[in-house]
Amino acid sequence: MTTFSSDALWNKSRVFIERAIKARDNEDMAGFHLWAAIAIELLAKSALAHQHPVLIADPMDFKSLFAACGVKDAIDKHTITAKTLYDRLHYINNDFDDAIKKECMFLANRRNAELHSGESPTEGLDQRTWSPGMWKAASVLVTMLLRTLDDWVGPDEASRIKRVLADRSELLRQGVVARIARRSSEYRARFESNPRELEEAIARSQNRTPPRAVLSGSDDYEEVECPSCRAKAWLMAYEGNSEVIDSGEEFDGPHDYYRWERVATTYYTEEFRCVECSLSLNGSEEIKFAGLATEFRREEDREPDYEPEYGND
């Protein structure tokens, strides 16, 4: 059964990335994008199937679910859409952050337009605008598979990709540093005639509540000091893994008692917003380059959530 096999999907992704590289070397940029987009989706499905094959089966098709579980094979088998695929990878691995997910969806959408419409979305598209993001996604996916870029494209091409990623990372770091410096300079220029008002504005920011965009755009948030203006700002995060770190029972009389458990949840940050100076950061890499936390942890006590009674008491 190759439809849901991580190894089969891995091998197929290698076939398509080889086609993509050959097209690039022949200056066929449209072909490079098309084959690369297919290769990335196959690689992503391989990474998700590596966790469990059923994760890539179409949940609306019970025959595909059974086949993915190895119960009974079916002639027609269906896998999940690209959007669902990248959402699930985003959920299970914080390195596959929102920025990488968006890059993958850009690839998938342009591929779909190329194959299913009269559009030519890659016509005149400079590979330097999209290939670094694609290679970054690939590097995360092969790591999830406990493999390397060398395994995927061979050592020579992998060496070139690593140089591209190093350049991309340094350009991103420089961009973040420059953005912080500009916002800081612009913010302080507003108070150039009265420095005391600057300190008062920062002090007032400590009483500010999170804006609606922070509350609605994240699973949780963390208050931090803005690296640009020192006002109160927010890191927006999505929920990651949860684990029970303690549990017990408490009694109140001979018959009354309740169970409790302490749960620790890790949240992964991928956006930063400062209302005071308008600094914004997107993706875990930008947040890391700004010297801010890429994750935080919450603990809470709660009563275990059991299923409702069956009505047979």
Give the pLDDT means over successive 10-residue stretches in the chain (313 positions). 89 97 94 96 97 94 89 85 95 90 94 88 85 96 97 96 95 96 94 89 92 90 95 94 82 66 92 95 94 93 66 53
Amino acid making up residue 288: K
Give backbone dihedrals phi and psi of 46, rounded to 5 degrees, phi first: -65, -45
pLDDT at position 154 is 96
Question: Residue 140 CB: number of other CB atoms within 10 A?
Answer: 17
Cα 20 from Cα 37, distance rounded (Å): 9
* Nearest Cα residue to 183 out of 84, 281, 88: 281
Residue pair 282/270 in contact (Cβ under 8 Å)? The answer is yes
Q: Which residues contact 132 (CB under 8 A, 6 or more apart)?
A: 164, 165, 167, 168
The alpha carbon of 239 is separated from its chain's Cα centroid by a whole number of angstroms, namely 11
Domain chopping of the chain, boundaries: 6-153, 207-302
Alpha-carbon torsion (190, 191, 193, 197), positive or negative = positive
Cα 275 from Cα 186, distance rounded (Å): 14
Please list the helix, strand and coil fractions of the chain in percent, rounded to the nearest 5, in that order: 50, 20, 30
Cα 98 from Cα 214, distance rounded (Å): 15
Amino acid making up residue 108: A
pLDDT at position 94 is 87
Cα 194 from Cα 312, distance rounded (Å): 74
* CATH code of domain 6-153: 1.20.120
Question: What does the block give as tokens for 248?
Answer: 């017990």
pLDDT at position 123 is 81
Cα 77 from Cα 68, distance rounded (Å): 9
pLDDT at position 143 is 97
